[in-house]
Amino acid sequence: MSVVLDLFTVLAVGLGVFFFLAGTVALLRFPDSLSRLHGLTKADNLGLGLVVLGLIPRASSPLAALKLIVLWALVQLGSATVAQMIGSALRRREEIE
């Protein structure tokens, strides 16, 4: 059983790290701000989500697991808001130009 859980953790965290890497590459390589923002929010959303998912079986108690999920939800809230605000700031700038 523990081997299965370990495998699950390695897989999920590994996949999460991949999304972080992809998000970083997107941030560095994508041509315009909106695409870069798109790449970045995927890292926050899927990357952190998968890392948290992988760590849940390792949490010391159900409460600790719940805290991990709350952490992910709060990052979601923050990153979605920031993406919206940067997006609307970009649009305002385009309207001016």
**Near another protein by CB under 8 A, which window of 6-14, 27-35, 42-50, 80-88?**
80-88
Residue 77 engages another protein in binding (rule: CB under 8 A): yes
Interacting residues of 44 by C-beta distance below 8 A, sequence separation 6+: 23, 75, 76, 79
Q: Count the site residues for another protein by CB under 8 A.
A: 8
To another protein, the closest distance from the beta carbon of 24 in angstroms equals 13
Q: Residue 14, interface with another protein (CB under 8 A)?
A: no
For 8, the 3-state DSSP assignment is: helix
Residue 33 engages another protein in binding (rule: CB under 8 A): no
Q: Does 34 sit near another protein (CB under 8 A)?
A: no
| 81 in contact with another protein (CB under 8 A) | yes
Is residue 43 within 8 A of residue 19, CB to CB? The reply is yes
The reply on whether position 88 binds another protein by CB under 8 A is: yes
Q: In the block, which residue shows the tokens 């923002």?
A: 37
φ/ψ bin of 30: left (φ > 0), alpha (ψ from -120 to 50), beta (otherwise) = beta
Q: Is 91 exposed, middle or buried (0-12, 13-18, 19+ CB in 10 A)?
A: exposed
Which residues of the shown chain bind another protein in the complex (CB under 8 A)? 74, 77-78, 80-81, 84-85, 88
